[in-house]
Amino acid sequence: MIVPLSVDDVAILDGLYNPKCEMGLRNLCLIHLMLDAGLRRSEVINLELSHVNFDHNYIIVVNGKGSKDRTVPLAPRLKKMLYTYAIAYRPACDHEYFLCNGNLDNTQLTENAIKMLFSRMIKHTELKRLYPHLLRHTFATAYIMQGGDLESLRIYLGHTDISITQKYLHLATQYGTLNYDVYKLDKKFFRRYS
């Protein structure tokens, strides 16, 4: 059973980290790349500085699942976090990967570092159901609940088959009926162009 993160759940996670220090900001960037852009854990790890376009507000996911590239909108709040991190902490890194292990070890972020981060988040909160892909599930469910269309979501998530994306329609319907206060995505995702 997938129970997406609520507004309060995300506030608890955000409250764990100080955005004014390197590791706190790095952790917030990591969380919100999954939550506000729908990236997979491996896509966060492999995100490079050149894949984030701050001028035109998008992220290019290169070699996502199935070796496919896609473009995802960069929400203003996530943009601010990523930009601050890039300016303050990226110059110390000697590689192109966006997120670093940090502190004395500025190597590429690792899967093990993410596992340890989520273990600490579970330990310090009541969110025992927390795991990295839940943030992506939350993004997708919130997108549908806030009026997003299935085809755009399929593209944002990088699904090749719409039937994979359709499970989020079921989740959104279920949680919408229950008036569940799922995390809110930025309005940027719901602009319509004529």
Q: Which one is catalytic: 51, 70, 136, 137?
A: 136
> Is 65 one of the catalytic residues?
yes
Q: Which one is catalytic: 133, 170, 184, 187?
A: 133
d(CA 68, CA 135): 21
> Is 40 one of the catalytic residues?
yes
Q: Which one is catalytic: 17, 85, 156, 168?
A: 168
> Is 137 one of the catalytic residues?
no
Contact 59, 75 (CB under 8 A): no
Q: Which one is catalytic: 26, 32, 40, 51?
A: 40
Within 8 A by CB and 6+ apart from 138, the residues are: 4, 5, 10, 35, 182, 183
d(CA 171, CA 152): 17
> Is 159 one of the catalytic residues?
yes
> Is 26 one of the catalytic residues?
no
Q: How far apart, in Å, are the Cα atoms of 19 and each of 82, 89, 177? A: 11, 12, 35
Within 8 A by CB and 6+ apart from 156, the residues are: 37, 38, 70, 72, 73, 143
Q: Which one is catalytic: 65, 83, 90, 131?
A: 65
Q: Which one is catalytic: 32, 79, 159, 183?
A: 159
> Is 168 one of the catalytic residues?
yes
Residues designated catalytic: 40, 65, 133, 136, 159, 168
